Amino acid sequence: LSETAYNAIQSFHSDSAVSFAVFLHHLPDPTVPHPPEVLLQAMQDALATIMAVQKSHGVTGTSLLNFVVSDGSSVIAVRFVSPAHESPASLYYAEGEAFARRLPEKDLVLGAATPPRPPTPPSSSPLSAQAAKEGAYDLAFSAQGPRVAFVASEPITASNSDWVAVPKNFGLIITREKGGFLNILRAPLVTTPGPLSSPLLGLPFYGGVNGVNGVNGDGGNA
């Protein structure tokens, strides 16, 4: 590890902390802001380093590596599994115009702004049942584009149709454009370290549906 990356970590007692240090090591300079393509490249190089270390030590088990990093302006989330033929840990994202509390019907005022649409009936799974109990908040949608986005291990609202699974061994790139709208792209991960290319690494990107702080390495909510 570079001295800057090593000194940035207060404790190496968790796999997430070690992974974050490896990510910082692959940034050109961890102390300055970087465009999202540089953050994504550093994440891909970190994954490649982890796999190389595993190989050098004869580790052949399945690695489930879901990471989320943010510099306050961009969010990079990856859903990765090695070997590639194995099933990854779950990772979802959702986007909308707003995330607002759903008011009881008795509290709605005639002529007031239309509240977020009611959620679709949840499935019978325990996770959906729990979301239904806690799902007093809903995503609202607008034709103009999304202004909020969530990344989580599992859907956290009662409407499962709001959520999209991040494809296996893909990265998710969330940036805020002019006017406050979000741009959400998906890109297949290339975990072989190499020089940066432009723009956005020259990778094929896929738009979202409906129109650097920390790493989460255990598939939890971020």
CA 120 to chain CA centroid, Å, is 24
Please, what is the end-to-end C-alpha distance for the chain in angstroms?
25
Residue 188, strand partner residues:
170
Q: Transcribe the chain into DSSP letters.
A: --HHHHHT-S--SSHHHHHHHHHHHTSS-TTS---HHHHHHHHHHHHHHHHHHHHHTT--S-EEEEEEEE-SSEEEEEEEEESTTSPPPP-EEEEESEEEEPPPGGG--TTSPPPPPPPPPP-SSHHHHHHHHH--EEEE--TT--SEEEEESS--SS-GGG-EEPPTTEEEEEEE-GGG-EEEEEEE---S-----TTGGG---EE-S--------SS---
C-alpha pair distances (Å), 50 with each of 24, 44, 123: 13, 10, 37
Residues in the chain: 222
User: Are 164 and 209 within 8 A, CB to CB?
Assistant: yes
Contact 40, 187 (CB under 8 A): yes
Query: In this model, does residue 197 exceed pLDDT 80?
Result: no
pLDDT band at 78 (very low <50, low <70, confident <90, very high): very high
Query: What is the pLDDT at residue 100?
Result: 77
15, two tokens: 């796999």
Structure tokens at 204: 């094929």
Interatomic CA distance for residues 34 and 49, integer angstroms: 21
pLDDT tens digits along 127-164: 555 555 555 777 778 778 888 999 999 998 878 888 99
143: phi then psi, degrees, rounded to nearest 5:
-70, -15
How large a percentage of the chain has pLDDT more than 90? Answer: 45
**Can you give 120-156 as a three-state secondary structure string?**
CCCCCCHHHHHHHHHCCEEEECCCCCCCEEEEECCCC
Mean pLDDT of 85-100: 91
Percent of the chain with pLDDT over 70: 71
pLDDT of residue 173: 96
Query: Would you place residue 222 in the very low, low, confident or very high pLDDT band (cuts 50, 70, 90)?
Result: very low
Q: Decide if pLDDT at 22 tops 90.
A: yes
Q: How many CB atoms lie within 10 A of CB 167?
A: 16
